[in-house]
Structure 1
Amino acid sequence: MTEAAHDVTVWPTVHSIPVSAVTDDGPPGHLRPPKPQDVAGGTGTGRDTTGGAPGGPAPGGAATGVGTARARPARADAGAAAQSEAGAGTGTGARANPAAEFGFSGDPGQHGAPADDMLHAQRTWDASLATNRLDDLGVTAERRRVETAPISTAVGLVVDGGPARVREVLQSFLDHTDARLLVLDLGDVDGAGAVVREFAGREPERVTAWHVAERPAWRDGTATWGACRTKLLQLDTSEVHVVTDGAVVLEGDALTPLVAAVDDGAVAAGWTGMERDGEEWRPAGPGRVTALGGELMAVRRAVALGAAVAEARDGAELSRALRGELVVPEDRLPVRRAGEAP
């Protein structure tokens, strides 16, 4: 049963929210599959012990290759030399060595001795310089946005009070992402539900909200973290589901690096990571980690639906229940805690 409050449906419990009408029927997905050695039934151990195959992810974790463009066939040296020779005497403005403007040394038609380690090292260094300069121009960031744009993404947010904080968090996600916001309001604690209703009414295409009379278990109620997260995953239809603890404020595009890491093969990518040190957990990352912090992380929704989400007490436990690679991207994400100075 439901009851109407200010023309808004209020469900008695999280469990009572129906999901029978929610399906995954829609356009084909754009998210690439997880790395084969990390999925259930795969042939690997789940750990990269070989250093990776040519053209594959960098050793030590996928974060070093977050958002990298799809492999493109390299232009043959002979073709490059012919192109250089053809343009050298035309007098039309073609440059014999345009790559030099980006820090490359030597003529494109020069091959050198195959065993010349110095030449190989120089080429590697020149390529790094050129890549860094392109990064400075924001080319890498823009490329990631273009590549991940077709991947459907939604942010799941559990609201448990703190109206001012809720307002700050919701507005930051609207300002800095194109993702849909799925908001679960538990018990209208401190009037936070009114803020959620305001945003859902103002941005109906971006914000979808469910209001529940049940209060959160961590505030003397009965709605557990795992039950809330399970329901949000079931209500979502996106390929990537973003878990946030409700206190993370975005100051820029923090989701693209996470979605790009998932598209590169990770099952989940987060703002922070952890490794076990005896009986304790310590901060870890960037790169592959054993667990992710629950402040902000993007997960493959299809994989999360097959995990024991209902038993998890927070995002860190959820990440450990996922089968696959967990990574912290190399990028420093533009985020802060709500209430902290920008």
Structure 2
Amino acid sequence: MNEAPSHVTDLAEQWAEARAERDHATADALRGEIEAEGWLVHDTANGFELTPRPPFEVWPTVGSVPEKGGGANGRAASAGPETTNPSETADRSGVADRSTAADPSGATDHSETTDRSETTDRSEATDRSKVADRDTSADPDRVAEAADPGNRPERLGDQEAGRVAETQAAPAQKPEGSELVGRSDEPVGHPERMVSSQLLWDASLSVSRLDESITPPVGAAEAEVAPPTVTVGLVVDGWPDDLRECVRALVARTEVKILALDLGDVDGAGAVLNELVKEFPRRVEAWHVAETPHWRGGTAGWGESRTKLLKLDTADVHVVMETSTILDGDAITPLVEELKDDVTGAGWKGVNPREDGHEWVDAEPGEVRGLLGHLFAVRRDAALTAGGFPADARYYRNADLEFSLTLPGTLVALGKDLPVHQERHRGYHDVDPAYRDRESRRTYDRVLGLLRGQ
């Protein structure tokens, strides 16, 4: 990584001091100066870090990413140059562990039953043609032809022929709706015009009935239920090669969109995500923030990042996926097809708690209590109603269980027959073990509370 010039480092030190003093206005101004010099500054556990400014827009924090009016690839639809919201860039040092609760005796977090990282694709919404209103205006030649029962008896029929004969013999009167065929307001004194109009009126009804016998009713196609829209949400936390393989498999084997949130361009993963956006502009949407993941020494939490993706999404179904999860076929459609009746979530791997709640075990395909975050689909409205993902979860492990227990309805897992596999789960194996255990216990305390409450 390039080393920042000394004057940029001086600005960053002033920025860190201003944030420590909660002088947000000064911190924002200094951040702007640093960016103008071609650098980005963001918090780390040990202070700050400077990285070269990439060729895409970067928001300062996860919280600062706009949830309404957003446009593709990290830019608000109506936004001009990026501005930093002081309230969003407030000092996040409070992200430090607020819980010192010891691990409950015998409590075991569900271990690497399945690893997790998020990959979400906001699949391109398929345009659906709308059925145009059927033109019911009668062709003049057809009307005239149909008005003569002798010429077209098969079209007019005996009943219509009788009605025409009755009209010719009946006293002149103005039928309802006659203004639609241009009748005179004074039929008296104009019997020929009245009779002609009556013939046209009855013939147009006949033509209309004929059309209805061979034309599907208006709205018949619209009555068909459109398939739900689907987005895969990915949290990008480094490991660019994993990201590239995950996204390309999604694009090749499904039609979903991919919505990705890049946390801090760790290891150049944000730059790779930007390349994928250019390679698949209609399939991949990206947002970039300067914050790095909490599990990699930064301040961006897993639950906060996941909820941000959920709120940025506009699809009916939101898919939680990790970049270590690779599709071998269309594993998304089977999950989406399970979301009917009272089923609100369907995943690849499911787990159930033992009676004491201190251990979770792999579940057979079918109804389960918990879905693991390697890959699962959820009705987006149900997830939003549940409040999104757990805000206090700074790390993924056990947070998927916490989220599962807050969802309404039924959860199901499909198991090993789903065409998908997992590569090395770096979010588990490549994270500091002491950090992993501490944050896992912290989240599992809340899981136990949910189980007791249920």
TM-score scaled to structure 1, two decimals?
0.60
Inter-partner Cα distance in structure 2 for 1:243 and 1:339: 18
- Once the two structures are superposed, residues 131-170 of structure 1 have per-residue CA deviations (whole angstroms, 9 ceiling, x without a partner) of xxxxxxxxxxxxxxxx997210000000101111111111
> For residues 315 and 301 of structure 2, what CA distance do their matches in structure 1 show?
23
Matches of 1:326 and 1:318, distance apart in 2 = 12
- 1:223 alignment partner AA: A
CA distance in structure 2 between the aligned counterparts of 1:218 and 1:149, rounded to whole angstroms: 40
- Distance apart, 1:329 and its partner CA: 2.6
- After superposition, the Cα gap between the structure-2 partners of 1:339 and 1:226, relative to the gap in structure 1 and judged at 3 Å, is closer
Aligned partners of 2:276 and 2:227: how far apart in 1?
A: 25
Correspondence list, 1:164-243, <5 A: 164-243=241-320
Between stretches 326-335 and 262-271, larger displacement belongs to: 326-335
2:348 is aligned with 1:300: no
Which residue in the other structure is 1:91 paired with? Answer: none
Please give the per-residue CA displacement for 1:209-243, whole angstroms capped at 9, x wherever unaligned.
Answer: 00111000111111111100110011000000000
Whether the aligned pair in 2 keeps the contact of 1:182 and 1:209 (CA below 8 Å) is yes
Structure 2 spans left out of the alignment, 5+ residues: 1-27, 39-52, 72-223, 426-454
- Which residue does 1:275 correspond to in 2? 352
Q: Deviations over 1:29-59 (max 9, x none)?
A: xxxxxxxxxxxxxxxxxxxxxxxxxxxxxxx
Partner residue of 1:68? Answer: none
Q: 1:148 and 1:211, CA in 2 relative to 1: closer, same or farther beyond 3 A?
A: farther
Indicate how the Cα distance of structure 1 residues 291 and 235 shifts in structure 2: closer, same or farther if over 3 A, else same: same
- 1:248-267 alignment, distance < 5 Å: 248-267=325-344
CA distance in 1, matches of 2:333, 2:226: 9
Contact 2:370 2:400 in 1 (8 A): no
Of 309-318 and 164-173, deviating more is 309-318
1:291 to 370, 376, 393: 370
| Shift in CA distance, 330/219, structure 1 to aligned 2, threshold 3 Å | closer
Q: How many residues align?
A: 217
1:321 to partner: Cα distance: 1.6
Report if the CA contact (8 A) 1:168-1:338 is conserved. Answer: no
The one-letter code matched in structure 2 to 1:326 is L
Q: In the alignment, is the contact (CA less than 8 A) between 1:148 and 1:260 conserved in 2?
A: no
The alpha carbon displacement at 1:339 in A equals 5.3
| Residues 74-116 of structure 1 deviation map (CA, whole Å, 9 limit, x = unaligned) | xxxxxxxxxxxxxxxxxxxxxxxxxxxxxxxxxxxxxxxxxxx
Contact 2:348 2:415 in 1 (8 A): no
> % of aligned pairs identical?
48
Q: CA deviation at 1:306?
A: 1.7
Per-residue deviation at 1:276? 0.6
2:383 counterpart letter in structure 1: A
1:8 aligned partner: 56
Q: Deviations over 1:252-295 (max 9, x none)?
A: 01011100001354110000111111310000021101111111
Counterpart in the other structure of 1:65: none
| Amino acid of the structure 2 residue aligned with 1:171 | R
Between stretches 259-268 and 271-280, larger displacement belongs to 259-268
1:20 alignment partner, one of 52, 68, 84:
68
Q: State the AA in 1 paired with 2:251.
A: L
Q: Which amino acid aligns with 2:326?
A: V
Within 5 A, what are the aligned runs for 1:117-132?
Answer: none
Instruction: Supply the distance in 2 between the matched residues of 1:22 and 1:321 (Cα, whole angstroms).
Output: 28
Match of 1:154, SS state, is strand
- C-alpha distance in 2, partners of 1:327/1:10? 37
Q: Structure 2: how far apart are the matches of 1:218 and 1:274? A: 24
* Residue 19 of structure 1: how far off its partner (Å): 1.0
CA displacement at 1:178 relative to structure 2: 0.4
Offset of residue 338 of structure 1: 2.4
Question: What amino acid sits opposite 1:323 in the alignment?
Answer: P
Work out whether 1:317 is the aligned partner of 2:394.
Answer: no
Larger radius of gyration: 2
**Distance of 1:224 and 1:178 partners within structure 2:** 29
Q: Work out the CA distance in 1 between the residues paired with 2:308 and 2:344.
A: 20
2:292 partner amino acid: R
* 8 Å CA contact retained: 1:182, 1:208: yes
Against the structure 1 CA distance between its residues 339 and 331, is the aligned structure 2 distance closer, same or farther, given a 3 Å change threshold? closer
Is the 8 Å Cα contact of residues 169 and 338 (structure 1) preserved in structure 2?
A: no
- The Cα of 1:315 is off from its aligned counterpart by 2.3
SS state at 1:262 partner: coil
SS at match of 2:300: coil
Q: Give SS of 1:268's match.
A: strand
3-state SS in 1 of match to 2:343? coil
Greater displacement, 324-333 / 245-254: 324-333
Instruction: Find 2:227's aligned residue among 150, 156, 164.
Output: 150
SS of equivalent residue, structure 1 residue 215: coil
